[in-house]
Each structure stands twice: as structure tokens, then as C-alpha cells.
A and B are shown apart, each in its own frame.
Chain A
Amino acid sequence: MTEPNHDIMISLRDVGACYKRKRRILRRAEPDFWALQGVSFDLHQGDALGVIGRNGVGKSTLLRLLAGIVKPDRGTLVNPGYQATLLSLQVGFLSHLSGRKNAILSGMLLGMPKKEIEAKMDAIIDFAELEDFIDEPINTYSSGMRARLGFATAFQIDPDVLLIDEVLGVGDAEFIQKSTKAMVQRIRSNKTVVLVSHNASLVREVCNRAVWIDQGLSHAVGPVEEVMGLYEESTGERTTKPKRETPREEEGNVPVLG
């Protein structure tokens, strides 16, 4: 992996985010829920930052904060104007609409101009292996076809910071291979990426830095080996570093997520 330069793109200091509970008459109000309480780290240009932690520690909320979908309720998040977009598959899909129109709609929601999506339509159709089906309404699609279209569309976005929540590859076994491979290549191509994952070996393999979130706090931040070491010490697991440094050309060595 090329050495990332160290320009800070997004910087977080003691960031917390809180979800208000529903208020109901005739029922005692539950206390508000702080999904994140104090998270601090810097995201540098060219970083592939892995976010690890158990279920329900606020990893998805962290991605929403980075994407600008929600604002911190405490602390400061500084983003001087970089576009950070969550890789959302099939976002905005409407089931009676044609595949082509859904790709445009989804792409626009992901922040791409309409013209750009139209220009990339052939690439989308090709990658999704949809051919003539692209003009059929997607309720005639199999779930695999829909997944392929969703991935092929979302994969076209090229934001300053790409945010990924767990899933790298989708679809049937073959397409999972293909899409995961494409995504791993994208992560390794010196793009700035934030990857949330349970999969420790995947984080080791594709990320250069990591942040460990526990109980809403950033427990450790730093080079991926260091942070993963601490994390695995605490959980008692151990994943080994992949044997080769650059497994990208070899099939079968690509991590697959279910």
C-alpha cells in the first residue's frame, strides 16, 4: 500500500450522538439513548480506517455522523467541506420502476449528478450483468439481480471519503466474489475509506489504521496492527495477519462477507 500523506480531512473530538426516545402520554419517559459518548480521531487523506467494536456500540451512528446525516450532540466534528458518502445499496429503489430509472434515482440520492449516472449506465448494466433487463421494472427481478444493480450503481460513486458499513460484496456466490474483489481494490487504491466491520481479518487486510469503539467511546486509535492487537486481547480472539502482503491478484484470497 502506498504511504498515505497526512492531511486531515475530518477530525472528531469527544463526539457524542444522542437519540431521543419517543415521548408518550401515560407512560414514563425513558432516558435518552447516547449511541456515542466520546469519540476522537482524525481521518487523514488516503487512510483506510477500520472501525471495529462489538454490536450496538454506535458504529453505524459514527458513519452517519461522518456522512453528515446527523450532527453531533456533543463535542466537535470538523469537516471543511469534503463529501463523505455512505455506500448504500439499493437506496431509494422503487419496485415498479425500471432498473434504469432506479439506477438514476439511487445514484442521485448518493450524490451523483444525473448526467454522470447516465454516462456510466453502460458500465452499471455491464457490471450488474443485467443486459436487456435494465428497462424492466425491478419487481420482475430476482433478489440477486436487484442486489447486483444496487451494487453496480453504488459502486459508481466517487466521494472524497467513502463510508462502508460491513458489506463489501453482495448477491450470489459468484457475484459476491466479483463485487468484493472490486471493493477491496477500491479500498486499496489510495482512496480515503472508512470501513465498519466485525471481521477482524478483513480490517487487518485492507486497512492501514483502525479505531476501536467500545461503549460509545473511542477506546484506541492508531495503526491497524496496534489497535487490532488491543482489541483481540480484550476479546480473547486472535486473527492472523494475511500471509501475503498483496493478495489482490489472486482469487480465493479475497475476504468474503456473508
Chain B
Amino acid sequence: MLNSRTLSLILFQTDAELSVEAERTYAGYLWWVVEPIVSMAIYFLVFGVLFKRGTPDYVPFLFVGLIPWRWLSGSVQRGASSILNARSLMQQVYLPKIVLPTVSILSNAFKFLIVFLILITYLMIEGYRISTAYFALPLVIVAGLLWISALTFVFAAVVPFFPDLRIILDNMLRLVFFVSGIFFELRTMTPEHQSLLRLNPFAVLVEAFRDILLRGNWPLWEPLLLGSAASVIVIAVGWLWIARNDCIYPKLGY
């Protein structure tokens, strides 16, 4: 399904997209670091200072939740419009449409990794220490990548048919933000609410990151694996849907 030419097109497009993003502004690549810090400062101001949740640990706690969140929302929002926005391109050349959301996924994953390294540096400065649980990090990141890819593929596949879905998506992402325990601790909820909230794979992911980075504990494997398995199925469905409609997408929108 992915021949080497498609693969090299994906990689080159991703590289091009990242450098275009950097070239477009005066500060360039610096924005990948500065922009998340600015936005995290705002969340800190609102939740940490105004709502007085400001225990000393609150800033690292918040940041460990926010950085994966920005990864999710950036990738899904960008990816959702990727096929829709490529209309004129699709009408001029044949390209496997799967390339388009994949480029969004890869470029956002790359930016996440950079910010994530900065987060770890920040945690070291704050006095947190690297533990053996860090060995679980690559697996948790892969689980996150699967979940984010699943959402991105599905929205990229369907949005060209129903462009209105982008408005619903924005609100859905807002909901995910509030129920993923980004600015509160899942474990402080009632047991019924906890088990309900844990149905959301992203909440599980945020919790896993906190277990590893802040507490030096191994993450809970079972919900992570379940979420990953579900993601793989959704990725397969989204992928097949996009492949099936490969020659339909260029004809939409009349």
C-alpha cells in the first residue's frame, strides 16, 4: 500500500511543510518553542493563579498534560482539512490521498518531540529525576501517535464529504480538552467518573505521561494497550476509506 515513491513523497512533503512553517515568520524555528511556552503561560495564569490551584507542583503537572494536548489538537485540526484543502493539487496530479493526512501527522509529531525534549529539560531544572520508568516513554509516545493518527485519518477522510464537520471537530476537541484531566487529576474524581473518563484514550495517555515524568512510576499498561488496539482498528478503517475514495476526492465540492 505504501511504495517507496509514496514514502519518499511523504518525507519530502513533511520536510517542506516544516521548513515553510519556519520560513514564514521572522523568528522561524524559534516559534516551535516560544509559542507553546506562551500558551502554557496563559493556562498557568488562568488555572494556576486565577483559580488558585497553585500548589508548587502545579506548573509541571499542567505542562505535562498540555504538551501532548497541543500535539493532538494540532495534528487533528491540520489533518482534518488536509484532503479538503488539496483540491486543486488533486485535480492536477494523481497522488495517493493518504499522503496528505500522513504529512500532517508526521510534521506535528516532529514538533511535539522537540517541545517534549524541552519539557524534560524543564523538569530536570525543577528537580525531577530520570527514573527507570523512562524506558516506558517510547511506548507511551507510540500509543499517543496511534491515537492521534486514528483521529487524524478519520477526520481527513470524512471532512471532504462534510466540510461542516470541521466546526463540530473544534467543539469536540474542546470537550476532549476538558475531560482529559489536563488541568486536574483524574484520581481526585469519584470512582464512577474516573472509569467513565478513562474510556477516553487521551486521558489515559496524559495520566501515563504524568506517572512516568512526575512520579517515576510505570504507567498502567492495560488501558494504554486497549486504546492502542482500538486506534489500530480505526487507523485501518480510515486508511481503507481514504484508499477507496482515492478517485472520488478530486470530484467533490462542485
Contacts and interface: CB of A to CB of B under 8 A. Distances in A.
Interface of A: 17-22, 33, 64, 67-71, 85-86, 88, 91-92, 94-97, 101, 104-105, 108-111, 113-114, 137
Interface string B1-43: 0000100110011001101100110000000000000000000
A86 B88 CA distance: 13
B93 interface: yes
Given A96-B23, A101-B16, A108-B8, A71 B254 contact: no
A107 to B, nearest CB: 10
A21 to B, nearest CB: 6
A136 to B, nearest CB: 11
Given A70-B251, A96-B24, A108 B89 contact: no
Contacts of A96: 19-20, 23-24
B136 interface: no
A167 B95 CA distance: 22
Given A69-B94, A85-B93, A97-B20, A114 B8 contact: yes
Closest 6 CB pairs of A and B: A88-B92, A96-B23, A19-B254, A71-B247, A96-B20, A109-B93
Contacts of A104: 12
B250 A70 contact: yes
A21 B252 CA distance: 8
Contacts of A86: 92-93
Contacts of A71: 247
A12 to B, nearest CB: 16
B5 A113 contact: yes
B90 interface: yes
B85 interface: no
B93 A20 contact: no
A105 B252 CA distance: 25
7 contacts: A22-B253, A64-B91, A96-B20, A96-B24, A97-B19, A111-B94, A114-B12
Given A19-B254, A33-B254, A64-B250, A105 B93 contact: no
Contacts of A69: 90-94, 247, 250
A68 B94 contact: yes
Given A97-B20, A109-B89, A67 B253 contact: no
- Residue among A70, A85, A95, A101 with most chain B CB within 10 A: A70
A10 to B, nearest CB: 14
A228 to B, nearest CB: 28
B93 A111 contact: yes
Interface string B65-99: 00000000000000000000000011111110000
Contacts of A137: 23
Nearest to A95: B20
A104 B16 CA distance: 10
A22 B92 CA distance: 21
Contact of A91 (B24, B93, B251): B93
Nearest to B21: A96
A71 B251 CA distance: 10
Nearest to A67: B94
Interface in B204-254: 247, 250-254
A91 to B, nearest CB: 5
Contacts of B23: 96-97, 137
A18 B251 CA distance: 8
Contact of A105 (B16, B251, B254): B16
Given A95-B20, A109-B95, 15 more contacts: A19-B254, A20-B252, A33-B254, A64-B250, A69-B90, A69-B92, A69-B250, A88-B92, A96-B23, A105-B13, A108-B12, A109-B9, A111-B94, A113-B8, A114-B8
Nearest to A94: B20
A94 B16 contact: yes
A101 B23 CA distance: 13
A111 B250 CA distance: 18
